[in-house]
Amino acid sequence: MLKKILHIVAFLFFILVTYFAMQACGFKVEALQKGIKDSLFFLTAMFPPNWTDFKSMVNPALETLSLAILGTILGSLVSFIIAIFAASNVSNKWVKLFVRSFISIERSIPELFILLILIAAYGLGALSAVLALMIGCIGMLGKLFADAIEETPNSLIESMKASGASKIQIIYYGILPDVFPKLISYALFRLEINIRLSVMLGAIGAGGIGFELDYAFSMLQFNRALSSLIMVLILVIGIEQLSTFIRKRLLIHQI
Amino acid sequence: MKTFLMEHKRWFQTLFLLIGMFLLIQYLKIDISILFTDLHYVVELLNEMFPPNFEAIWDNSTILNSILQTISMAYLGTLIGGLIAFLFSIIASNNIFNLKLIGSLTKWVLSFIRVLPSLVVILIFVVAVGPGPFAGVLTIIFATIGTLGKLFTESLENLDPTSAQSLQSTGAHKLQTFKYAVWPEFLPAFISNLLYCFDINMRAAVGLGIFGGGGIGYKLYLAMRVLHYKDAVALIICIIILLLIIENLSNYLRHKILEN
Amino acid sequence: MIKAVHLTKQLPNGKLLLNDISFEVSKGEFLGILGPSGAGKTLTLKSLIGLLDLTNGEVWIEESNNEHINIFKTKAKVLKKLRTKIALIFQGYHLVQRATALDNVLMGRLGSIPTFRSLIFGFNEVEKTAAMSSLEKVNMQHLAQAKVASLSGGEKQRVAIARALFQEPNLLLADEPISSLDPKNAKIIMGILKELSTLFPVIGVFHQPELCAKYCSRIIAIKDGKKVYDGPPVLEESLLEFIYGEELAIVIPEKYSN
């Protein structure tokens, strides 16, 4: 009996919270209905896409892709070095605590704002974008890499320590070879995320196809917007398929 | 004789990587020397950023509103997106109602939704309902349907069919089987994924603030736009604390569910 | 020669993990350490190379030049040099899976190669040839280029022993080296360890009293952190019952379980 009352109270509370949340967000269903009509009309206005427009999208797309790839590579390298200090079996207690906290904090900063800060320091352009992506990797890859390093069997590390190997030797010869496929797999996964981020960052000033998309929308050049949108989809889907394919192959050919 | 890490192959791979990076840097016309020559700008910026101006937060009642707004965006996005994703996934998964053609179609639609970058989605919604947290929520709902749609479908398809089968053999029909056999087994995965998505959506809600999404992300963007860096840093610290709390809460609850 | 003197390890709550353990092992001896789970056997082994911090006690190791060094009171450099001459093998998971057998053997001498040289130039031909001959001693030379992940348990342990041999050690320690092996391979490994004890002292922790009795030259039994037996490998039932208590049925299933 009491359980039922509790359930009802919880349900009511839940409804109340949802109602307030809707108020807080300005959730207006009528606006949505009107909006859907508007956007459908506007979506049809976007067709058909312009072939010349499309051709001009190739270079920006390549730029966005390069940013993502470079950002991921640099980010992986930096994250690996940081991960070494964040792994309990390689690093000492206090350093590990400090570095792991740093990684968690980085994870909580949206990459968009990292870019804004970098733009304030270094101006618009590819350098800021690459640095933003690179730093953004640390939150995710730092943690994943450190966890992977910690999976190295203790007996391996102890036998190397017992024979007198130095810390760097233990990392390079003992830990790195076995953890490497996992690192590549995580890096590829991050690449999928970075390509989306690269598009988003482009809209704030990093250039590339994100910028084209945002510009086309704000200039109400709908055909152009559609071309850029299609290009973005090709880019994102392409990278995701490639990444999934390579990661599957890695899993099968583990050895 | 070759050794693993000293193989010529490894040297070539490393060289290939370095050359590749160099080429990319050249293609993007990145001038690395700027990192050093413009260092004084960084120092200037750091001076402008510290010490952070926390008064801007204490005095400003709208900040609390923004925080609530951001949390509401994530909450609604996860809730509504989760429900819709759940309905879609029941149709899409091949073991619950097994609606072959419609099922495959739904799966395809879910994939398409998942692939759309959030930038595109929010731009469209801003055109539809104007800038503000409403567009933000709708974008998050959309993105949630994509993520959770896939996760739910996978969970459903990976469920152990034995309990459902034994129930059906006693004559229970589809809905009953679902309520008594499928749902209890699916529930932990369902809640766990919802919490996971809530964590992700919180970050998205903050990030979308820039594109007119509202909430504390928007406040932060404004502060940076008008070069009030001290306020901005105070806000970032706020955001970091908020997201850390949510992340830890989410992880804690998910662990408790795993134990149950 | 290695000498453990009054090894003691006490936890903050007062519990004694190691209770005044002393013994001495010389060349030509194959020492087997037996005891129930949690008795302190592995802790004893680890303290012998300084991988465990003791509350009290010393470990003296005789260097090649007849000097005696206390492990816990030497400088890091001396300790590192000492360690290059001490080999340690485990129950398993102590090899790099994606590397070949030869690679793993070569890793035995990393302690004697400066970090910088090992990172940039790896190993030279002399070292590689010597590694191959270590593999020959355990009859694994035909699998030198095989990835360790593809080897069987017995083969992996032989690679680990080859790695130990490559160090040209003055002392070999083994922590339950045969616990994951089937009887046939276990006997092969025990045979190899016994042969090696003619070159340098071999100390092993085991859960297999019958094999110990057969291959070891001397046995120490540890129970609740204390040494309760130190003598020839003659194990009668009463002694085994005293050492293992209830665990006897698990340790020697064929003989003692119902």
Cα separation, C176 vs C199, in Å, equals: 21
| Of residues C13, C194, C196, A77, the one with CA closest to residue C206 | C194
Contact A165 C98 (CB under 8 A): no
Mean pLDDT of A77-93: 94
Cα separation, A171 vs A149, in Å, equals: 9
Assigned domain for C141 exists: no
Count of CB atoms situated within 10 Å of the CB of B245: 12
Say which range, A50-59, A156-165, C37-46, C61-70, has the weakest mean pLDDT: C61-70
Contact B236 A237 (CB under 8 A): no
CATH number at residue B149: 1.10.3720.10
Mean pLDDT (chain B) is: 85
Mean pLDDT of B175-200: 86
What Å distances lie between residue C60 and A11, C33, C70, C84, CA to CA? 71, 19, 5, 16
User: C237 forms bridges with which residues in the sheet?
Assistant: none
Assigned domain for C187 exists: no
- The whole-number pLDDT of residue C28 equals 86
Assigned domain for C217 exists: yes
- For residue B150, give every residue at least 6 positions away whose Cβ sits within 8 Å of its Cβ, in sequence order, or none: B110, B111, B114
Assigned domain for C211 exists: yes
Contact A162 C51 (CB under 8 A): yes
| Of residues B216, B213, B220, the one with CA closest to residue B123 | B213
**pLDDT tens by residue, C195-225:** 999 999 999 999 888 899 999 999 999 988 8
What Å distances lie between residue C96 and A147, C132, C151, C225, CA to CA? 18, 17, 12, 33
B197 lies in which domain range?
Answer: 62-259
HSE at residue B8, side-chain half, CA atoms within 13 A, is 1
HSE at residue C153, side-chain half, CA atoms within 13 A, is 16
Homologous superfamily of domain range A57-252: MetI-like (1.10.3720.10)
Closest-CA residue of chain A to C176: A155
Assigned domain for C148 exists: no
pLDDT over 60 at C255, yes or no: no
Confidence of residue C130 (pLDDT cuts 50, 70, 90): very high
Q: Which subunits count as partners of chain C given 3+ CB pairs below 8 Å?
A: A, B
Query: Would you kindly state where each structural domain of chain A is located, as residue ranges?
Result: 57-252
Cα separation, A77 vs C102, in Å, equals: 28
- For residue C224, give every residue at least 6 positions away whose Cβ sits within 8 Å of its Cβ, in sequence order, or none: C19, C39, C40
**pLDDT tens by residue, A5-59:** 888 998 898 898 888 888 888 777 777 777 778 777 777 777 777 778 888 889 9
C48 lies in which domain range?
Answer: 1-85+171-177+203-258
C90–A contact, CB cutoff 8 A: yes
Cα separation, B139 vs C225, in Å, equals: 64
Assigned domain for C158 exists: no
DSSP reduced 3-state for C88: strand
Are the CB atoms for A180 and A255 separated by under 8 Å?
Answer: no
Tally of structural domains, chain B: 1
Assigned domain for C55 exists: yes
- The interface pTM score, or ipTM, of the predicted complex is 0.85
**pLDDT tens by residue, C64-120:** 666 777 777 888 888 888 888 899 999 988 999 988 999 999 999 998 888 888 877
Cα separation, C198 vs C188, in Å, equals: 16
**pLDDT tens by residue, B84-143:** 999 998 888 877 777 778 888 888 899 899 988 888 888 888 888 888 888 889 999 999
- Nearest CB neighbour to A126, from listed B30, B128, B133: B30
For residue A194, give both structure tokens: 């970075």
Q: What single letter denotes the amino acid at residue B214? A: G
Segments of B70-228 assigned E as strands: none
Contacts of A168 in chain C (CB under 8 A): 115, 119
Assigned domain for C134 exists: no
pTM of the entire predicted model: 0.88
Assigned domain for B211 exists: yes
- Nearest CB neighbour to A177, from listed B4, B29, B118: B4
Burial readout C104-129 (b: 16 or more C-beta within 10 A, e: otherwise): bbbbbbbbbbeeeebeeebbeeebbe
Mean pLDDT of A226-255: 87
- For residue A146, give every residue at least 6 positions away whose Cβ sits within 8 Å of its Cβ, in sequence order, or none: A82, A83, A84, A86, A87, A100, A103
Check whether the bond before A48 is cis (ω within 30° of 0). Answer: yes
**pLDDT tens by residue, B35-68:** 888 888 888 888 888 887 787 777 777 888 888 8
- Nearest CB neighbour to C98, from listed A159, A166, A255: A255
Tally of structural domains, chain C: 1
CATH number at residue C244: 3.40.50.300
